[in-house]
Amino acid sequence: MAEIENVLITGGTGTFGTSYIINAIENNWHKRIIVFSRDEFKQVKLARFLKSRYLDKIISAKDFSVELDNCEIRFFIGDVQNYSRLELAMKDVDLVLHAAALKHVPICEYNPEQAVYVNIVGALNVAKAAAVNGVKRVVALSTDKAADPINLYGATKLCLEKVFLGSRSYYHDTTSFHIVRYGNVIASRGSIIENLCDKNNTKFFLTDPIMTRFWITIEEAIELTRFAIKNGTSNEIFIPKMKSLEMKNVFRYIRPDVEVKIIGRRSGEKKHETMISNNDMFKTYDLGYCYGVSSEIYHSNIFDGKDPISLKEYTSFSVERLTKEEFLKKINGTMVKELNDTIL
């Protein structure tokens, strides 16, 4: 029996969406999954991949859906900037996972209007469409760059967090809103790790060798999202406990053979990432599995009986570093490498 029957994933053909769908099918999480995205070719690739991977489970396979013996996957072409399409797609949906976004820092800097429309206006549209349809729960994906942001991408993600956490003012009778905030997903599409793992690439630019970054596998990101789905009550930001690594060691551990040219930090690029702002430490709690940041306006029962954490800071510089063995295990153990070769 599926835990939550109907789920819609915005940006459903991306790294998170695709990986979540596979895990959902194999673990019987949902009865119906709606893939909402604006790239028809990626939807076609995903449909073909699912038909091939789950051939023995297929009941019906059409151009717009793949029906398995335990889950139906439906495909909706749509853009989060289009409110009416979102409202239509969310009919009878119980859970929305909001993963659609412009995520590349320089692209957002160069295309600020589009970054605002997709990441902020899109968030407003998702929140309203979910509430109008009586969706029980919305979990939105954020990033470490939303904490003390210095670039437009981080600023739009901070706005996304505020949009969803503030939506309770309007929609508290119908929908609960939750945020998961995490670092760089290992080997995700277009990432430096994906490029390093491609043996055909032998020359690379590196902005700053002692720059540190948080690293998380897609499996860990999905696990955090599942924690939010199961345990969130309303208006929380869930943040994983992560280790980090210097960029020089990212290169050295994966491809010690490559030629690297140091070019200096780009505009909008931090030397060290912040996962929780110092201004939020007083309302951050240790939930065991992860940290939780409480809204200052609305109380969440998940924090009852807990004291704020005593961390002075939570940055990629202040946390423990990944060992070479830990880092390579994460890379070799993630399903994203397989997906990059097939559908991403």
Question: How many domains does the structure of the chain reveal?
Answer: 1
Residues labelled catalytic? 145
Q: Give the CA count within 13 Å in the CB-facing half-sphere of 141.
A: 28
- Residue 178 placed within a domain: yes
Q: What is the mean pLDDT of the chain?
A: 94
- Residue 203 placed within a domain: no
State the angle between helix axes of 218-231 and 15-27 in degrees (0 to 180), rounded to the nearest 10: 70
Question: What confidence tier does 272 reach under pLDDT thresholds 50, 70, 90?
Answer: very high
What's the Cα-to-Cα distance from 131 to each of 124, 219, 275, rounded to whole Å?
11, 29, 29
Q: Please compute the mean of the pLDDT values over residues 1-22 and round it to a whole number.
A: 92
Q: Please compute the mean of the pLDDT values over residues 3-20 and round it to a whole number.
A: 95
What is the Cα–Cα distance from 270 to 305, expressed in whole angstroms?
Answer: 36
pLDDT digits (tens, 9 = 90+) for 192-245: 898 998 888 999 999 999 999 999 999 999 999 999 999 999 999 999 999 999
- Residue 249 placed within a domain: no
- Residue 17 placed within a domain: yes
Q: Please compute the mean of the pLDDT values over residues 256-273 and round it to a whole number.
A: 92
- Residue 344 placed within a domain: no
- Residue 257 placed within a domain: no
**What pLDDT, on a 0 to 100 scale, did the predictor assign at position 287?**
97
**What pLDDT, on a 0 to 100 scale, did the predictor assign at position 268?**
85
- Residue 252 placed within a domain: no
pLDDT digits (tens, 9 = 90+) for 143-153: 999 999 999 99
pLDDT digits (tens, 9 = 90+) for 12-43: 999 999 999 999 999 999 999 999 999 999 99
- Residue 343 placed within a domain: no
What is the Cα–Cα distance from 196 to 248, expressed in whole angstroms?
Answer: 12
pLDDT at 341 over 80: no
Q: Which range marks the domain in which residue 299 is found?
A: 6-187+214-243+273-326
CA angle 67, 69, 72 (to 5 degrees): 30
**What pLDDT, on a 0 to 100 scale, did the predictor assign at position 55?**
95
pLDDT digits (tens, 9 = 90+) for 61-94: 887 899 999 999 999 999 999 999 999 999 999 9
**What pLDDT, on a 0 to 100 scale, did the predictor assign at position 174?**
87
Question: What confidence tier does 2 reach under pLDDT thresholds 50, 70, 90?
Answer: low
What is the Cα–Cα distance from 307 to 291, expressed in whole angstroms?
Answer: 12
CATH code of the domain containing 227: 3.40.50.720
